[in-house]
């Protein structure tokens, strides 16, 4: 259709828009992926203070270094405190200064400094203590076996990439539509179009549809970057991923049209766009799981379109779920999209 | 072609009765009656803020009137025939910015796609003198080229009725001439045109009839020639003097048909300037006054406006 074609041409000829839609989310994925990658090959960072009796310290250092699970650094008091604050180390081990130099093989008196509010801090303290106690002869009384099977798609980046796709579909859907509609309105272009026999719902539909072409490219850009740089896999079918993205993009297309239906200025529409997106930025679990919010809020959070889209995308990319089992979030998305479109058609301001 | 019968409003291409539009702070259109006959070019003439655009946009079905009735090609807006009506009208609005990212040809093509029947895109571009600019982005066009593009978009649906809101404002004389030619050609093919303008030459050249609008009311509705003739004079003498002098003294001079005060100057409607000027000079001398500025010209629609309102058409 001619209108959709025109919209697509307009978009492609706007280099900045292309940047924000494609390049920005990929850069964001890269930055976050690097920041949250598992450091030190999965070993725990531990600092040993360089004060206290020398012999005891040397022995402790040697014993800690022997553990394959620990990445040890010897630091002075000040640097160690700083490193702990910045979570560059999870626990600081200090040999008590007043402990008389223990004789060979005698255990030293130790202090562990860590942040008990952090799960990583508590785990690191247990690990270090375990290594120390065993090194000085504590025997395991219970026979236990490890079954360490890291779940596929359980890394932070695996969680993040579908969230970024969702966030980006929301952002580009809302901003892309909101701005172009309001600018066309201030330029009286909408009024001019209203003077033609063009069906008014066709115009709105063409805006929502023109999003679809870019949607494919957007998803491809982010998912591709995740795959190439961090090895993020798509557990489910690619077709399902495409369909979910499509439903998501149409849903945000409808919502975008609804938000853009009335405002006359770019400032006004920006305000509304931010207002609409804010709850979803906060609650929809793009960067961390929304399951952390109180139980009673969860049904509401799940009713948000971005939550639904993120859940569906994660279901497919991380857990390999089928479309049929994702009916609930898909229904939420469709409901939002259709409502948005209907409201937009009814209340759209043509001048 | 038979002349339309002005007595029968049923044959009018467009007619309106008692049209009113009220905005919060101004009564923009205060009861306007118009009849535009098929095949005629009808002009709405008036100063800024007179209500021309508001009137035209009500006729186009873009603005809902607060009162009055509009009949357009035998139909009314909002009675389920809107799309059918829109198929038959073309419009160039005041101040529309078409999408800057599209090329000229893409824009016209887009507008063509809205109409069931219409003209060939390239033919319309040629008509508008834009064939060289076909592949140029709209954002890169000059003001005059943009106006012609707007005209092309209005014509591409081969309308019966064309609305042009200030089609030549801001154009250089050459570009204006081009616009006039396009409108004349459209008229020759039997189209009906309603246009608004500030330019007397434009109204005089293009319009079969004009309505002069001021403060939302029609203050005169005639052919340009009849309006000028209604002044009862063929020439205008305008001057200012460095002191007071009574209007009656001027009215009594040879050949003076009308006297009007416009700011600091006197405007005399006269039969022949060459006859009246010596009398004016004599009058001034007898009152020991000096003449400052002096202009004389053939009477125009502008003078009709000054005569009717005491103000210039482009004064603010
Ligand atoms: N949307 C609006 N809201 C409020 N007032 C308006 C609106 N549109 C027009 N007006 C007012 O109505 C009056 C008539 O405006 P209109 O645009 O019809 O004048 P015009 O004759 O077209 O003038 P111009 O020659 O400057 O184009 C003006 O006083 C204007 O301020
Ligand atoms: Mg106007």
pLDDT tens profile A217-267: 788 888 888 888 877 888 888 899 999 999 999 999 999 999 999 998 889
3-state secondary structure of A44: strand
pLDDT over threshold 80, residue A104? no
Q: What is the mean pLDDT of residues B23-45?
A: 91
Ligand 2 centre and the CA of B230: distance in Å?
Answer: 27
Percent of chain B residues past pLDDT 70, beyond the cut: 94
Mean pLDDT, to the nearest integer, of A281-307?
Answer: 89
CB atoms within 10 A of CB B122: 14
Non-local (6+) Cβ contacts of A292 within 8 A are none
Of all residues in chain A, the one with the smallest CA distance to B106 is A6
- A194: nearest CA partner in chain B: B62
For ligand 1, atom 31, name the residue with the nearest CA. B49
Token pair in block for residue A347? 């209340």
- Residue A86: φ, ψ to 5°: -85, 5
Q: Are A350 and A200 in contact (CB under 8 A)?
A: yes
CB contact under 8 A, A187 and B96: yes
Query: What's the gap in Å between the CA of B251 and the closest CA on chain A?
Result: 50
Q: Tell me which residue in B60, B95, B109 faces A2 most closely, judged by beta carbons.
A: B109
A75: nearest Cα among A66, A67, A84: A84
A contact test, residue of B21, B54, B80, B97 with most A CBs within 10 A: B97
Cα separation, B179 vs B168, whole angstroms: 7
Mean pLDDT taken over chain B: 86
Task: List all residues 6 or more positions away from B129 whose beta carbon is below 8 Å from its beta carbon.
Answer: B148, B178
Q: How far is B79 from chain A (nearest CA, A)?
A: 15
Q: Candidates B24, B44, B49, B94: which one to mutate for ligand 1, based on the most atoms within 8 Å of Cβ?
A: B49
- For every residue of A99-163, DSSP letters joined together read S--PPTTPPPPEEEEE-TTSHHHHHHHHHHHHHHHHHTTPPP-S-------PPTT-SHHHHHHHH
Query: Between B143-155 and B104-112, two packed helices, what is the crossing angle to 10 degrees?
Result: 20
When pLDDT is averaged across residues B104-132 and rounded to a whole number, the result is: 90
pTM for the whole structure: 0.77
pLDDT category of residue A329 using cuts at 50, 70 and 90? very high
Report pLDDT for A259: 93
- What is the pLDDT, as a whole number, of residue B41? 93
Q: Which of B46, B51, B166 to mutate to test the pocket of ligand 1 (most atoms within 8 A of CB)?
A: B51
Q: Return the exposure string of A129-142: e unless at least 16 CB atoms fall within 10 Å of the residue's CB, then b.
A: eebbeebeeeeeee
CB contact (8 A) between residue B102 and residue A194: no
| Interface mutation vs chain A, best among B21, B61, B85, B98, most A CBs within 10 Å | B98
Note the ligand closest to the C-alpha atom of B28: 1
* CA A328 to each of CA A325, A333, B46: distance values in angstroms, whole numbers, following the listed order: 8, 9, 62
User: How far, in Å, CA of B13 to CA of B36, rounded?
Assistant: 6
The alpha-carbon gap from A219 to the nearest alpha carbon of chain B, in Å, equals 25
pLDDT at A272: 92
Q: Are B71 and B11 in contact (CB under 8 A)?
A: no
Task: Inspect the interface and report whether the beta carbons of A10 and B96 lie closer than 8 Å.
Answer: no
A138: pLDDT strictly greater than 90: no
Contacts of B39 (CB under 8 A, 6+ apart): B1, B4, B13, B187, B190, B191, B192
What is the B5 CA–ligand 1 centroid distance (Å)?
A: 33
pLDDT over threshold 50, residue B215: yes
SS3 sequence, B80-103?
Answer: CCHHHHHHHEEEECCCCCCCCCCE
Chain A: residue whose CA lies nearest to B83: A197
Q: Which of A48-52, B90-94, B110-114 has the lowest mean pLDDT?
A: A48-52
Q: Which tens digits make up the pLDDT trace of B180-199? A: 999 999 999 989 999 998 88
B314, pLDDT greater than 60? no
**Start-to-end C-alpha separation, chain B:** 42
Instruction: Check B97 against A188: CB less than 8 A apart.
Output: yes
Ligand 1 binding pocket (C-beta < 6 A) is: B 23, 26, 28, 46, 48-54, 94
**Cβ neighbours around A196 below 10 Å, total:** 24
Nearest to B213 by CA among B3, B58, B86: B58
Set of chain A residues whose Cβ sits within 8 Å of the Cβ of B86: 195-197
Contacts of A196 in chain B (CB under 8 A): 86, 111, 114-115, 157
Q: Whose CA is nearest to atom 5 of ligand 1?
A: B23
Domains and CATH numbers, chain A: 2-36+155-347 (no CATH), 41-135 (3.40.190.10)
Query: pLDDT digit string (tens) for A166-225?
Result: 998 898 888 888 888 898 899 889 999 999 998 888 888 888 888 777 777 788 888 888
Using DSSP, state whether A185 is helix, strand or coil.
helix
Asked whether the ipTM of the predicted complex exceeds the cut of 0.90, the reply is: no
Q: Where are the alpha helices (DSSP H) in B217-269?
A: 224-230, 247-251
The rounded mean pLDDT for chain A is 85
Across the range B93-107, mean pLDDT stands at 88
| B64–chain A Cβ distance below 8 A for any pair | no
Residue A153 pLDDT exceeds 60: yes
Dihedral sign (CA B93, B95, B100, B105): positive
| B94, B100 contact by CB (below 8 A) | no
Q: Is the pLDDT of residue B3 over 60?
A: no
Task: Locate the chain B residue with the closest alpha carbon to A9.
Answer: B102
Of A342, A163, A165, residue with least CA distance to A255: A342
Q: Which chain residues have CB less than 5 Å from ligand 2, an ion?
A: B 52-53, 94
- CA A28/CA A166 separation, integer angstroms: 13
């Amino acid at each position: 259709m001619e209108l959709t074609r025109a919209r697509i041409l307009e978009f492609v000829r706007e280099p900045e828009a292309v940047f924000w839609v494609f390049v920005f989310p990929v850069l964001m994925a890269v930055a976050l992926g690097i920041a949250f990658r598992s450091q030190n090959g999965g070993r725990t960072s531990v600092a040993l203070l360089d004060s206290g009796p020398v012999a005891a310290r040397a022995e402790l250092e040697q014993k800690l270094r022997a553990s394959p699970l620990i990445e040890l650094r010897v630091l002075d008091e000040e640097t160690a405190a700083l490193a702990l604050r910045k979570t560059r180390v999870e626990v600081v081990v200090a040999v008590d200064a007043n402990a008389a130099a223990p004789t060979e093989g005698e255990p030293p008196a130790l202090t562990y400094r860590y942040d008990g509010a952090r799960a990583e801090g508590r785990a690191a303290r247990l690990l270090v203590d375990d290594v120390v106690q065993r090194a000085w002869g504590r025997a395991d009384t219970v026979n236990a076996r490890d079954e360490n099977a890291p779940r596929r798609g359980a890394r932070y980046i695996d969680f993040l990439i579908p969230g970024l796709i969702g966030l980006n579909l929301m952002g580009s859907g809302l901003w892309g539509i909101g701005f172009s509609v309001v600018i066309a309105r201030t330029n009286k272009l909408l009024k001019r179009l209203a003077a033609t026999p063009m069906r008014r719902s066709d115009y709105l539909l063409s805006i929502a549809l023109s999003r679809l072409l870019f949607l494919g490219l957007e998803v491809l850009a982010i998912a591709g970057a995740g795959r190439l740089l961090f090895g993020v896999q798509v557990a489910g079918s690619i077709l399902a991923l495409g369909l979910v993205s499509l439903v998501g993009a149409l849903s945000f297309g409808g919502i975008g049209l609804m938000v853009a239906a009335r405002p006359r200025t770019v400032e006004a529409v920006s305000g509304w766009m931010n207002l609409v997106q804010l709850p979803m930025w906060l609650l929809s679990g793009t960067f961390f799981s929304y399951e952390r919010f109180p139980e009673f809020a969860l049904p509401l959070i799940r009713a948000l379109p971005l939550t639904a889209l993120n859940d569906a995308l994660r279901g497919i990319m991380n857990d390999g779920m089928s479309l049929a089992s994702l009916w609930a979030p898909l229904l939420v998305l469709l409901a939002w999209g259709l409502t948005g479109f209907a409201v937009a058609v009814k209340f759209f301001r043509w001048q | 072609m038979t002349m339309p019968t002005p007595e029968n409003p049923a044959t009018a291409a467009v007619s309106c009765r008692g049209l009113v539009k009220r905005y919060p702070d101004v009564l923009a259109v205060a009861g306007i009656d118009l009849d535009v006959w098929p095949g005629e070019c009808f002009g709405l003439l008036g100063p800024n803020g007179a209500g021309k655009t508001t009137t035209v946009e009500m006729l186009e079905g873009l603005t809902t009137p607060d009162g009055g009735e509009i009949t357009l090609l035998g139909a009314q807006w909002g009675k389920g025939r809107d799309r059918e009506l829109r198929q038959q009208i073309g419009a160039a609005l005041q101040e529309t910015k078409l999408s800057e990212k599209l090329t000229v040809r893409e824009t016209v093509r887009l507008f063509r796609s809205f109409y069931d029947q219409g003209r060939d895109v390239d033919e319309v571009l040629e008509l508008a003198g834009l064939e060289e600019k076909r592949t140029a982005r709209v954002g890169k066009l000059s003001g005059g080229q943009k106006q012609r593009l707007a005209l092309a978009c209005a014509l591409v649906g081969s309308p019966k009725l064309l609305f042009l809101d200030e089609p030549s404002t801001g154009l250089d004389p050459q570009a204006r001439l081009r616009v006039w030619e396009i409108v004349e050609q459209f008229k020759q093919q039997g189209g009906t045109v309603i246009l608004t303008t500030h330019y007397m030459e434009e109204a005089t050249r293009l319009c079969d009839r004009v309505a002069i609008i001021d403060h939302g009311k029609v203050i005169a509705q005639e052919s340009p020639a009849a309006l000028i003739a209604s002044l009862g004079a063929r020439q205008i003498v305008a001057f200012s003097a460095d002191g007071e002098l009574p209007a009656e003294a001027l009215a009594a001079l040879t050949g003076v048909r009308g006297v009007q005060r416009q700011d600091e100057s006197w405007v005399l409607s006269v039969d022949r300037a060459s006859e009246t000027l010596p009398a004016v000079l004599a009058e001034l001398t007898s009152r020991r006054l000096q003449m400052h500025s002096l202009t004389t010209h053939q009477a125009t629609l502008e003078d009709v406006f000054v005569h009717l309102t005491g103000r210039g058409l482009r004064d603010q």
